[in-house]
């Protein structure tokens, strides 16, 4: 059964912003797109760049190291050099708390 873990306050991640949170020792990138929150592994599958530090355009984030793009809503790799996607985490917002299902 999945566990819900509180990782951040919704008020700490403004629209169009990202934040790195840690879940059981794994860095996770948390994104706010127009008030809807998404979470994916923060580590690019190409060479390990921090996706939370990348540029967010729409629902795509660009890895700041080599330019691979990922869809933050699904974790799917959109462009090379990344050949595979990243894990996506279901997100719940309860009041001002952001919780991830792990």
Residue 68 CA, distance from chain mean position: 14
Using pLDDT thresholds of 50, 70 and 90, give the confidence band for residue 2: confident
Q: What is the mean pLDDT of the chain?
A: 96
Percent composition of the chain: helix, strand, coil (DSSP 3-state, to 5): 5, 50, 45
CB atoms within 10 A of CB 32: 20
pTM of the shown model: 0.95
The pLDDT of 33-49, averaged and rounded, is 97
CATH of domain 17-91: 2.102.10.10
The pLDDT of 29-47, averaged and rounded, is 97
Strands 88-89 and 91-94: unpaired
Beta bridge partners of 92: 99
Residue 58 has pLDDT above 90, yes or no: yes
């Amino acid at each position: 059964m999945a566990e819900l873990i509180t990782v951040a306050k919704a008020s700490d991640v403004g629209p169009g912003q990202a934040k790195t949170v840690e879940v059981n020792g794994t860095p996770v990138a948390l994104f706010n797109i127009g008030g809807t929150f998404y979470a994916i592994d923060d580590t690019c599958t190409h060479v390990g760049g921090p996706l939370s530090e990348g540029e967010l355009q729409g629902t795509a984030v660009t890895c700041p190291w080599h330019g691979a793009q990922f869809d933050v809503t699904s974790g799917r790799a959109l462009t090379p050099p990344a050949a595979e996607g990243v894990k996506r985490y279901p997100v719940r917002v309860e009041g001002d708390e952001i919780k991830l299902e792990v």
